[in-house]
Amino acid sequence: MFAPLVAPHDPRQQDLVNRVQPPAWSDGGDWSFPLGTDGLGRDVLSRLIYGARVSIFVGLAVLVVAGLAGVLLGLLAGYRGGRTDRVIMRIVDTQVAFPGLLIAILMASLIGPSIRTVVIVLAINGWMIYARMTRGVVLSVKETDYVEAAEIIGCKARRVMWRHILPNLAAPITTLAVIEFARIVLAEAALSFLGVGVKRTDISWGLDVASGQDQIFNSWWLVVMPGILISLTVLSVSLVASWLRVIADPQEREKRFAATQIRRGARDDG
């Protein structure tokens, strides 16, 4: 979102005079193009910053679409049970077995590669995990006394799902969403690298890696820079997910606290 403000150059602007310049700290480079330029003179740093836009957008879009669809279907399957459950779960199983790459290639050839294509493909591939998890949570919460109490006092099904069952979903879904975000960023980069993701004229880290791979020995920065950014993004998001999981477990925190107290020598003698 802030890319236009942050990026020093227009990522599409070609500057053939300055083409194939190495990053600023190597010889031949200068600070107006801090991370160097590519074969067409486009500034690498700016491309990276604009590329982030695409990654984040795709990540969020897929989260929303796949997440909503998956959670809804998982809710239905878990709460209704019986045939609804069996049918939905069979669909889930079938889709999980279907090779995602094939779908990507199919879509790309049908409607052409673009950001929209990527989002559709990744959503189709990604909703099942939300469905399975939601269904699991619903099944276990459904058996609790307070859900039964809600039904006995006369709550309609919708209210039971919304007020009593759904809030239990917040924590596990958040953790899942964070992990999925990282995975989607990686997936988008991979698809774009393979040419079945975004349009060739769009900007994406995957695309950058793809176009730079031929010159990896001469202009290493064209591949390494986007690569580092992809890894950094995935790593930091995974760390956030781990941290979320730890702070959500009160027992571990208590144990650690107690250990320090005892070490300080709390005693009651006499």
- Token pair for residue 71? 């959670």
Per-residue DSSP letter, 37: B
Closer Cβ to other proteins, 86 or 200, answer by number: 86
Nearest distance in Å: CB 33, other proteins = 53
- Token pair for residue 258? 């107690």
Contact criterion met (CB below 8 Å) for 46 and 208: no
Closer Cβ to other proteins, 30 or 249, answer by number: 249
Per-residue contact flags (x/-) with other proteins for residues 127 to 166, judged by CB under 8 A: -----------------xxx-xxxxxxxxx--x---xx--
90 is a contact residue toward other proteins (CB under 8 A): no
Nearest distance in Å: CB 256, other proteins = 9
Nearest distance in Å: CB 89, other proteins = 14
**Subset of 243-262 contacting other proteins (CB under 8 A):** 253-255, 257-259, 261-262
Give the integer Cα–Cα distance in Å for 72 and 166: 11
**Subset of 106-125 contacting other proteins (CB under 8 A):** none
- 3-class state of residue 258 by DSSP: helix
Nearest distance in Å: CB 157, other proteins = 10
Percentages helix, strand, coil for the chain (3-state, rounded to 5) are: 75, 0, 25
Nearest distance in Å: CB 170, other proteins = 10
Per-residue contact flags (x/-) with other proteins for residues 159 to 188, judged by CB under 8 A: x---xx--x---------------------
Per-residue DSSP letter, 191: H
Contact criterion met (CB below 8 Å) for 77 and 131: yes
Contact criterion met (CB below 8 Å) for 203 and 11: yes
Where is 36: in which H helix or E strand? none
235 is a contact residue toward other proteins (CB under 8 A): no
- Token pair for residue 135? 């269904």
Residue ranges in contact with other proteins by CB under 8 A = 144-146, 148-156, 159, 163-164, 167, 253-255, 257-259, 261-262, 266-270
